[in-house]
Structures are given as C-alpha cells and as structure tokens.
Amino acid sequence: MVKSQSVKFSEKPLKVSTLGIDQRMLFGQGGAYVKEIELEFPVKIVTRGDEIQIYGDGEEPQKVKELFEDMIQHLASGGMVTEQTLQYAIKMVKGNDALSASQADDRILLTNRRIAIKPRSNGQKKYIDAIYANDLVFSIGPAGTGKTYLAVACAVRFLKERRIDRIVLVRPAVEADEKLGFLPGDMKEKVDPYLRPLYDALYDMLPHGQVERYIVSGVIEIAPLAFMRGRTLNNSFIILDEAQNSTVRQMKMFLTRLGINSKTVVNGDITQIDLDDKNMSGLISAQNILKGISGIKFTYLSEKDVVRHPLVQEIIVAYDKWERKEED
C-alpha cells in the first residue's frame, strides 16, 4: 500500500451513482474502504447523497470509477464487499490483466445467493470464450484460478438452456491409479471425498434438492476416471478435473468418450502432479499430441488469474521461484 499522495484536482469530477446500494457496505465502516482507495490512487473521493465524485488527473479517476462500478455491481448481485474483495478489485484495476467493466459483464449465471459468476481476468475471459467456441478445451494453470468452478458454471448454464441433456463430472480418485479398495464404505463413500470440489461448485449454483434429484436421475453424474472406460457420452457437458494425475493411457481413454453434441473441458495444474513419473501425466503429453487439431483449444491461466485469497497468488509465485532454484 502506498502512502498518502498530493492530488491535483480536476475541475469536473467523474461521478458514480450509488442509488439503491447500501453505502455502509460499499464504503466500509467509517468510510474505511474510501480512505484505502485514496491511498492506492492519486484521487480525492467525495461522497454526497447517492453520488460518488472522483477528482484527479489522467487515467486514475477513470480507474477508480471502474473500481466503484464493479463493487456496486457485485453488491447489486447479492455479494458482499470485504477487505479481501476490495484488495482483489484494486489489484485487477491496476493490473494489465484487469477486465474493463463492460468486459466483466460477461455473466455466466447467478449463484444461489444471487452473485454473478463471470470471468474476472483476461485469462478467465479467454478460457470461457474457448469453452463456448470449441468442443474440447484444456485449461492449465495453478490453484485458485477458477478452472473447475467456471467450467461447472458453463455446464450448468448449458443444462439450463437445454443445450445438453446431462453433466458428467470426472476426476482421478486416488492419486494416479485409483486404488479404492482400502478405503472404508461402499463405492460412493470411497470416491466422494475426491469429488467434493465438484459437489461444492454444484451446490453453489443449484438448489441442494435439485442437485440430489439430478444425481439420482442421472442428469448429473459424478464419477472417478476409471468408470469412463467403454462409454460414449452424447449430448453431454463433460469435465475432467485434476487431469494432471491422469496417465497418458487414461487421457486417451477419456478423450475418446466424446460423443455427438457434447463438449469436454479438461482442467489441471501441471505443477501438482502426484504420479510417480511426472512425465507420464496425460495432461502434459496431450499438449504435444493434440497440438494444432481444429476444435481443440489449450488455454493457460497464471497467478494473475487467481481469485482466492490474495495470499494464494504470492504463495504460487514463491513456490515457482523455489522450484526453479531446486532444478538449477
């Protein structure tokens, strides 16, 4: 955070309407968020009634205007502004990978709490555009970049719009070879812990009872990768999560399940491979084997696309530096 700066006031401020918005949530306790924004940008912010006035020079007032507009949109869609979301929004507005307010309006759908699910970086926007435009999309990037969550959101949207008949969510269950026998319980109890992130995303986007009904009826299927062998999946939106832990043979088996009028998204983080031989990762090999095939798109996310706690981005960068040092 920078220190307080000397601001040259423009004659006419940029204005943002706060009509219908809880200003206490927008401005923070005692106007704490407003003061924090003034420390981050060389502007002066004046709040009068249902209006925010932003004084300053150059592009800075416009950046702050976009920042407030994004926060207001977030509140209007049922979200909350916290210190964490404020810091993330500031970082996005300042960075080159930030989306403009118009770009960020690419809403996929609303969560159960009426919060808009949408891409929040250029990397995520390219990822979503790739899903809409291609039948097979690979998304490779670190934890916290929204790979799984955004893919599930697209799948739910496609289902609601009746563009598909079912959603199939797949994940390597136990490390690479899925040896489930030693775990207690029936097969569902054995694999559920490994598929929990997929359940969590679904429960965030659909009513709990509806998710359960869809699972019982087969509209939503959640299964370990080994269960895909021998199948053909038509009219489906298929997601393979944690694909870095699939072998080359498993990846080939999975990709050849793609049927008519179906879409497949493959997600993974090649820095977190649990296979004994990392070179056997199906996700790594697919980049070379499938390169240049029309209808297949590879997208890459980075620490700049992290949407979890701001510390996650710093953790990813720190580990990348450490791993490069170890390799040298």
What whole-number percentage of the chain has pLDDT above 90? 44
pLDDT tens per residue, range 200-213: 889 989 998 999 99
pLDDT of 199 reads 87
Which residues on neighbouring strands pair with residue 247, listed in sequence order? 281
Whole-structure pTM value: 0.67
Which residues on neighbouring strands pair with residue 223, listed in sequence order? 170
pLDDT tens per residue, range 215-234: 999 999 988 888 888 899 99
How many residues does this entry show for the chain?
328
In the predicted structure, residue 140 carries a pLDDT above the cut 90? yes
Average pLDDT, the chain: 83
151-166 mean pLDDT: 94
Query: Higher model confidence: residue 48 or residue 2?
Result: 48
In the predicted structure, residue 76 carries a pLDDT above the cut 80? no
CA atoms of 16 and 39, how far apart (whole Å):
19
pLDDT of 319 reads 82
In the predicted structure, residue 153 carries a pLDDT above the cut 80? yes
